Amino acid sequence: MSSPKFSLIVHGGAWDIPAAAIPDCRAGIRHALEAGREILARDGAAMDAVEAAIIVLEDDITFDAGTGAHLNRDGRVQLDAIIMEGASLKAGAVAAVERIKNPIRLARKILESSEHMMLTGAGAELFAQENGIALCDPSELVIERERRAWQRCREGNHSSEFHFGHNHGTVGAVARDVQGRIVAATSTGGTCCKFPGRVGDSPLVGCGCYADAEAGGISCTGHGEAIMKIVMAKMAADLLRNGAAPQAAADECVQLLANRTQSTGGLILLDRSGRPAAAFNTSSMAHGYLEPDGSVFISP
């Protein structure tokens, strides 16, 4: 089978999505796919398409990334993000930033302009200021739904159901452009009521994200402390490198996550030819991809 001209797959997290939230999830996934497709269809770069798709999802309060992310124990949003390029294996990542509206922009700036691969907290924000990315007021990232949920957690026991059920609402995207370049990215607010400074799988190379032009690109979602244990994104890349079919690779990763960590999550991927696959062991995962005929597949 010939490779598709270009490919794009995105996700908005693997979680028990309540029926009332499904229309918003589907709309967010569609908008992200449209933003990426618009770039890929004019022979644009996978890097630009992935960044554009993630920005849509970070700005959409449905998901646990950017604006509308969960609050940590101190009532603050702390964001993590990564972007990785498959030909060079270069990545840029940020963790625990509080004054960056779109952490994926900063992650890309680090990939392109820093000798380092990952910056955290105040250092990441200093790098942003020195490289033309404006800081926002931390309050701009906080929405009333999450502030109320945090308040309820403070008054009683922390409960993920207060947080709209979307403890796993991380976002991600993987694209392959007409030149065959593969880029993957992941962005998250992490877990609700997390300890200040906690960082999960999402911004870690090989855990929440991986891209290798010789294998494919992967973005993960789910319980970070479990995904880190099995280095899930790199596992998927290794399976693809060794010839596994895309769906088989995705399924095997989620199986291992369940068997070895008794935890939940999911992943999306493109193999090096651009063939998509997705797997999860939650009741659903908000995700979608471009079909070869130009239409979009969206689930749930």
Peptide bond into 196 cis (omega under 30): no
Full DSSP string of 108-163: HHHHHH-SSSEEEHHHHHHHHHHTT-----GGGG--HHHHHHHHHHHHS---GGGG
* 172 binds ligand GLY per the rule CB under 6 A: no
Give the Cα-Cα-Cα angle 17, 263, 51 (nearest 5 degrees): 60
Q: Which residue among the candidates 62, 67, 120, 170 is catalytic per the annotation? A: 170
- According to DSSP, the β-strands at 79-85 and 216-222 are unpaired
* 78 binds ligand GLY per the rule CB under 6 A: no
Closest contact distance (angstroms) between CB of 276 and ligand GLY is 20
* 264 binds ligand GLY per the rule CB under 6 A: no
Q: Which stretch binds ligand GLY (CB under 6 A): 17-25, 36-44, 188-196, 242-250?
A: 188-196
Closest contact distance (angstroms) between CB of 207 and ligand GLY is 9
Closest contact distance (angstroms) between CB of 13 and ligand GLY is 8
User: What contacts 8, CB < 8 A, 6 or more positions away?
Assistant: 33, 36, 37, 40, 49, 53, 173, 174, 175, 176, 289, 290
Q: In the set 7, 160, 191, 282, which binds ligand GLY (CB under 6 A)?
A: 191
Spatial contact of 252 and 260, defined as CB atoms under 8 Å apart: no
Q: In the set 7, 102, 187, 188, which binds ligand GLY (CB under 6 A)?
A: 188
Spatial contact of 48 and 179, defined as CB atoms under 8 Å apart: no
Distance CA 94, CA 125 (A): 9
Give the Cα-Cα-Cα angle 95, 83, 227 (nearest 5 degrees): 65
**CA dist 243 → 24, 118, 206, 218, 249 (Å):** 36, 30, 18, 15, 9
Nearest CB to ligand GLY, comparing residues 228 and 244: 228
Closest contact distance (angstroms) between CB of 5 and ligand GLY is 31
Q: In the set 62, 102, 170, 282, which binds ligand GLY (CB under 6 A)?
A: 170
Closest contact distance (angstroms) between CB of 266 and ligand GLY is 10
Distance CA 8, CA 249 (A): 18
Closest contact distance (angstroms) between CB of 265 and ligand GLY is 7
Q: In the set 44, 68, 200, 266, which binds ligand GLY (CB under 6 A)?
A: 200
**Residue 276 parent element (H or E):** strand 276-280
| Site residues (CB under 6 A) for ligand GLY, limited to 214-243 | 221-224
* 190 binds ligand GLY per the rule CB under 6 A: yes
* 284 binds ligand GLY per the rule CB under 6 A: no
Beta-bridge partners for 196: none
Displacement of CA 116 from its chain's centroid (Å): 21
Q: For this structure, is 170 an active site residue?
A: yes
Residue 66 has phi, psi (to 5 degrees) of 55, -135
Nearest CB to ligand GLY, comparing residues 7 and 221: 221
* 187 binds ligand GLY per the rule CB under 6 A: no
- List residues near ligand GLY by CB under 6 A: 170, 188, 190-191, 200-202, 208, 221-224
Residues labelled catalytic: 170
